[in-house]
Every structure is written in C-alpha cells, then in structure tokens.
Amino acid sequence: MDKRLPVFIAAAILGIFAIAGTSLVAFTHTATKARIAANERETLLRSLYALVPSESVDNDMVLDTLQVKDPEQLGAPVTTVYRGRMQGDPVATVLTTMVTDGYSGPIKLLVAVRYDGTLGGVRVISHKETPGLGDKVEEARSDWIYSFTGKSLGNPSIEKWRVKRDGGVFDQFTGATVTPRSIVTAVKKTLIYVQANKDALYDKQASSDGVTAKG
C-alpha cells in the first residue's frame, strides 16, 4: 500500500473542510450584509417619514436623492438631499445638514423643507454635546427641536432667526447656549440654500446624471 495515500486523503479532507468553511463565511457575510442594509433603509425611512408623512408622498425618497456641495451653507463637503414627490409634483426635501460649530463637535441634522418653504421639521441624528445640557436638542430629552416645525424665512423674520439671548425667538438652554445657537443658524442657512436652489433640488434628471446644485 502506498504510504502517501493516507496523507493524500487527509489533505483532501482538509481541503473540503476549508472550502466548506470559506463558503459558509461568504454566505453568512452576504446574508448579514443584506440584512444590515435592509435595517439601515428601514431606519432611514422612519426618520424621513417622521418629517415628511408617508401619506404625503408616493415616491421612494431613499432612492430619489441628490448630492449637493455647499459646505458654507450646509456644513459638510457633500450633503445628501432626499426628495419627496406626489404624482411627480415636489412635496418636500430633506437635507443632511451638518452643524460644524457645536460646543463639543459636529452635529448632524435632518432638515425637512416643504415645497412652500416652511419647515416640515428638524431632527438631530448624531452629536457629542454635554449630557444634561447640550443633549436637550434630542427629541427624547426635550421638545425644543419641535420648535422649528412650520417655521420659514418669513416666520419669524430673518433677523429673528436667533436664540432669545441674541434677540431672536428661539429658546436656549440654561448653561448651554452654544448648541441651540449653532443649530438655529444651521437651519436658517439650510432654508436660505433651499430657497436659492429650489428648482435644481427638485430636478428629476439630477439624481441620475450627477448634477449638483450650488448656492
């Protein structure tokens, strides 16, 4: 009997196990990746529909997007814009505005602007503000963030888009003025940007040809 045969058999068995193991890992990775993507999509949709009610749009806002570049107005180098439509007519946009001058670091927002220029709402999606002070911008901590809903560049007047300490209409937090002041300014700049780029933001062609709207 060839002494090399048992070694060959052992090597073959190890090879089979290696292939099976690699296939299992690849299958698990693919399945997990798909599940994670589905969960992220569902979470994003819930956030969008909290600002733009699902019954007011009939398009897929997650897919109907536009990448715009105006860091001076919107904070980030590139900002994603989600568009809501009903039977092709524009309903609202939701922008991923970045507050660059938060007290403890950048603050990421979702800012929904209806087609008539009023705010559908604002939500903080991430921040590093001081617990118990700056974190009151979270809807789970206070109702302060709801104060933006329905506001526009004419309500209040542009010069009143400040916290009360600075002569505006928006509340600040005791011991934490920087955070609300920065968010109020960022939301105002977002409204100004949307007003200046209204037609480009709703351009249906923009989502497929890479066109970006600039202020």
Count of Cβ atoms closer than 10 Å to residue 202 Cβ = 21
For the chain, give the mean pLDDT: 84
Give the helix ranges, DSSP H, for 52-168.
Answer: 71-74
Query: Which pLDDT does position 126 carry in this prediction?
Result: 82
In DSSP terms, which residues pair with 173 in a beta bridge?
176
State the pairing for strand pair 98-99/65-68.
unpaired
Q: Are 145 and 122 in contact (CB under 8 A)?
A: yes
In this prediction, residue 122 has a pLDDT band, given cuts at 50, 70 and 90, of: very high
Half-sphere exposure of 117 (CA within 13 A, CB side): 14
Name 126's Cβ contacts closer than 8 Å, sequence gap at least 6.
107, 108
Mean pLDDT of 124-147: 78
Give exposure, 112-148, as e/b (b: 16+ Cβ within 10 Å).
bbbbeebbbbbbbeebebbeebbbbbeeeeeebbebb
In this prediction, residue 147 has a pLDDT band, given cuts at 50, 70 and 90, of: very high
**Percent share of the chain, pLDDT over 90:** 54
Mean pLDDT of 120-148: 81
Q: If you average pLDDT over each of 32-46, 132-146, 165-179, which comes out highest?
A: 165-179
Separation CA 154–CA 157 (nearest Å): 5
Number of H helices, E strands in the chain: 5, 6
Higher per-residue pLDDT: 178 or 96: 96
Query: Which pLDDT does position 40 carry in this prediction?
Result: 64
Write out the two tokens for 39: 């969960």
Q: If you average pLDDT over each of 5-19, 52-66, 128-142, which comes out highest?
A: 52-66
Write out the two tokens for 23: 């296939």
In this prediction, residue 215 has a pLDDT band, given cuts at 50, 70 and 90, of: very low
Q: Give kind and range of the element (H or E) at residue 23.
A: helix 4-51
The torsion of the CA quartet 154, 66, 89, 118, rounded to 10 degrees, works out to: -20
Query: Which pLDDT does position 64 carry in this prediction?
Result: 93
- Provide φ and ψ at 148, rounded to 5°: -80, -25
What's the Cα-to-Cα distance from 199 to each of 89, 93, 143, 149, rounded to whole Å?
Answer: 12, 11, 32, 22
Higher per-residue pLDDT: 203 or 50: 50
In this prediction, residue 33 has a pLDDT band, given cuts at 50, 70 and 90, of: low
- Provide φ and ψ at 124, rounded to 5°: -90, 125
